[in-house]
């Protein structure tokens, strides 16, 4: 036997942080003979055998020995080589025979095939040491954080081969170039863990430790991450600890009884999604998930995890009616075991992977999502601000003639801005399931819809909080996303769509280069309203400030030009136009904004005011000029 008593003790206690090194399939040498050591936790099983193409899938050939009452079975099969396909044959207490994929498999067959695959130890030569060292020193709360959300299977396809998925290695240079063009600091990959149904976009995971074979081998994924790191781009992985699918060859009723799922359907089933919920009170299940999180951060150098469906984990009555849920031991609706697990997760990531981030996709008013664990919070680095996304999109779907009556819908998020550390998403959630593309959500005729979309991106990139944009948004497509085909890249050649892309690229560059747009995110003083109550003209304006860097942002939320608009501003030698989403190069009207006049005339609580022509449905950004530049630009 290879597993030590200490390994078995840690597994039993649920504290084996490198569980993937203990369980699963591992190439070993025993008495000079190479082969594979198989190990599996299946405490309800009567018998477990390793089966595969190496034994013609005969369950009588290689039974595994049981380690006492640990529930762990282990055995060595000589002659098995990397690349071999395998599963575990489990005899249940009811006399059934189940054929199950390995929960700890580090590779699998390409779907729709379902076998696990033996992989050799990785000897990948990483080249991102500089990135990792710098990551440990960074404060993500005060760094630029602009995320490109990507589904690899539908992002791009091989030219002339629309049905062929690109490999991780083929995708690497393309993603680097694209991220640099638009100023993205990070790429977030929708789940790359193995999943049988492409239409789930990776969110129904069956192979938690196996990168999907659709794009290549585990080392190919390492190459993708490494390439992005060497180009200065971080990598976030979507991670799904909230639920798993019912496929009979995977985790469901793994050894003939509920094992990974909670045995009570009131806690163990997601009826809306048709999936099963992990039993967070079982130490070995918590261990499976906790080690899995560390596995992706340590073995694949990921910079963080975006944790999916956190809201469904926090509440026992999530999407359940009366009588369909069981209160906790205190009579409340909070899922105490799941909450403890999330705290344990974030504490472990902070301890074992300093510099890595965790991001909660959480849509409720649960307090302390990003508060540190030692202060009673859940300990996430960031929380998705789903409310901001929904409210902002609903506002821009309104006829501009009515927007002034609903201005609070746009500005409300600022009231709770510093209750958590937020990330502002414009994510895949809003462009799937017949919801329409972002462009289609905008109100008005075609020109107004494009103008509104540019305005939306400007508001997202200049307001406080980190940012996320789903792939394809840079193309402003008319149609919503379809996982079965790649993005409509031909839109880069269509003027109105290309203009949106150029506008987003300019905004991305501005965001990365100006500390005022990110360094002060955690501080209330980093953002100040100039005017958020102009309901008659429906114009919103605010300051972004950090150290000596300052920007003034003005949003005209109607298609009405405002000539001679007067805006109160802090004193300066002068002001310069930095960006105008109505510029002709972006597909706008190209109406002039200047000449700018700085006058000693009070407005909006300031002693000075800036007078300029405000274009229709536009965001304009100004910066104060240093004295020398002001002298050069004076008439």
DSSP result, 142-187: GS--EEEEE-HHHH-EETTEEEEEPPHHHHHHHHHHHHHHHT-SEE
Q: Is residue 20 within 8 Å of 291, Cβ to Cβ?
A: yes
SS3 call for 505: helix
Residue bearing tokens 């998925």 = 165
Residue bearing tokens 């999936």 = 275
Decide if 308 is catalytic: yes
Sign, Cα dihedral of 557, 559, 560, 563: positive
Rounded CA gap, 487 and 484, in Å? Answer: 10
Rounded CA gap, 285 and 407, in Å? Answer: 47
Decide if 429 is catalytic: no
| Number of Cβ within a 10 Å radius of residue 110 | 13
Q: Nearest-CA neighbor of 291 among 103, 467, 432?
A: 103
Buried-exposed string 369-404: b where 16+ CB fall within 10 A, e elsewhere? bbbebeeebbbbbbbbbbebbebbbebbebebeebb
Structure tokens belonging to residue 446? 């075609």
Rounded CA gap, 635 and 623, in Å? Answer: 18
CB-based contacts of 273: which residues, under 8 Å, 6+ apart?
Answer: 243
| Number of Cβ within a 10 Å radius of residue 6 | 9
Q: Which of 308, 344, 417, 420 is catalytic?
A: 308
Rounded CA gap, 136 and 444, in Å? Answer: 47
Q: Determine how β-strand 422-426 pairs with β-strand 157-158.
A: unpaired
Q: Is residue 213 within 8 Å of 109, Cβ to Cβ?
A: yes
Strands lying side by side in the sheet with 597-599: 562-569, 608-614, 597-599
Rounded CA gap, 410 and 535, in Å? Answer: 12
From residue 448, alpha-carbon distances to 401, 582, 588 in Å are 13, 11, 9
SS3 call for 292: helix
Q: Which of 269, 344, 361, 480 is catalytic?
A: 361
Sign, Cα dihedral of 138, 144, 145, 146: negative
Within 13 Å, how many C-alpha atoms sit on residue 556's CB side?
Answer: 25
**DSSP for residue 615:** P
Active site (catalytic) residues: 308, 361
């Amino acid at each position: 036997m290879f597993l030590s008593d200490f390994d078995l003790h840690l597994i039993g206690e649920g504290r084996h942080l490198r569980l993937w090194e203990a369980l699963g399939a591992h190439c070993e040498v025993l008495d000079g003979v190479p082969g594979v050591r198989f190990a599996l936790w299946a405490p309800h099983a009567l018998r477990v055998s390793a089966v595969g193409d190496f034994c013609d899938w005969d369950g009588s050939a290689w039974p595994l020995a049981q380690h006492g009452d640990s529930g762990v079975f282990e055995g060595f099969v000589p002659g098995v080589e990397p690349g071999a396909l395998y599963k575990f044959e489990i005899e249940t207490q009811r006399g059934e025979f189940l054929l199950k994929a390995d929960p700890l498999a580090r590779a699998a067959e390409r779907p729709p095939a379902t076998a696990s695959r033996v992989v050799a130890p990785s000897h990948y030569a990483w080249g991102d040491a500089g990135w990792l060292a710098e990551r440990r020193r960074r404060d993500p709360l005060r760094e630029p954080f602009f995320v490109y959300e990507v589904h690899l299977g539908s992002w791009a396809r091989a030219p002339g081969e629309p049905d062929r998925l690109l490999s991780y290695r083929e995708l690497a240079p393309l993603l680097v170039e694209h991220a640099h063009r638009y100023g993205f600091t990070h790429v977030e990959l929708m789940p790359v863990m193995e999943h049988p149904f492409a239409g789930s976009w990776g969110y129904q995971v069956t192979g938690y430790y196996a990168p999907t074979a659709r794009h290549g081998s585990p080392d190919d994924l390492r190459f993708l991450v490494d390439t992005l790191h060497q180009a200065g781009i971080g990598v976030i992985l979507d991670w799904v600890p909230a639920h798993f699918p019912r496929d009979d060859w995977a985790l469901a009723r793994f050894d003939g009884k509920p094992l990974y799922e909670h045995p009570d359907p009131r806690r163990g089933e997601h009826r809306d999604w048709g999936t099963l919920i992990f039993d967070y009170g079982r130490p070995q299940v918590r261990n499976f998930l906790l080690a899995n999180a560390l596995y992706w951060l340590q073995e694949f150098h990921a910079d963080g995890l975006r944790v999916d469906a956190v809201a469904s984990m926090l509440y026992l009555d999530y999407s359940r009616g009366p009588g369909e849920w069981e209160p906790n031991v205190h009579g409340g609706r909070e899922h105490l075991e799941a909450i403890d697990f999330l705290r344990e997760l974030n504490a472990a990531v902070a301890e074992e992977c300093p510099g890595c981030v965790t991001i909660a996709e959480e849509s409720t008013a649960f307090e302390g999502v990003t508060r540190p664990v030692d202060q009673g919070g859940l300990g996430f680095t960031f929380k998705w601000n789903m409310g901001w996304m929904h409210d902002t999109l609903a506002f821009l779907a309104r006829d501009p003639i009515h927007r002034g009556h609903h201005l609070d819908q746009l500005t409300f998020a600022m009231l709770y801005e510093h209750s958590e550390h937020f990330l502002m998403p414009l994510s895949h959630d809003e462009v799937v399931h017949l919801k329409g593309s972002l462009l289609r959500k905008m109100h008005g005729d075609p020109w107004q819809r494009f103008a509104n979309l540019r305005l939306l991106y400007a508001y997202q990139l200049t307001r406080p909080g980190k940012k996320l944009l789903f792939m394809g948004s840079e193309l402003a497509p008319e149609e919503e996303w379809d996982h079965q085909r790649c993005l409509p890249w031909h839109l880069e050649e269509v003027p109105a769509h290309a203009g949106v892309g150029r506008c987003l690229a300019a905004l991305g560059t501005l965001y990365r280069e100006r500390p005022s747009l990110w360094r002060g995110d955690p501080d209330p003083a980093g953002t100040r309203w100039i005017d958020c109550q102009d309901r008659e003209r429906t114009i919103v304006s605010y300051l972004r400030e950090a150290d000596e860097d300052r920007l003034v942002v003005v949003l005209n939320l109607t298609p009405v030009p405002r000539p001679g608009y007067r805006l109160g501003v802090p004193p300066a030698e002068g002001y310069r136009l930095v960006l105008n989403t109505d510029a002709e190069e972006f597909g706008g009207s190209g109406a002039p904004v200047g000449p700018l006049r700085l006058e000693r005339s009070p407005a909006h609580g300031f002693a000075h005011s800036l007078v300029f022509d405000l274009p229709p449905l536009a965001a304009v950004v100004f910066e104060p000029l240093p004295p020398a530049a002001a002298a050069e630009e004076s008439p």
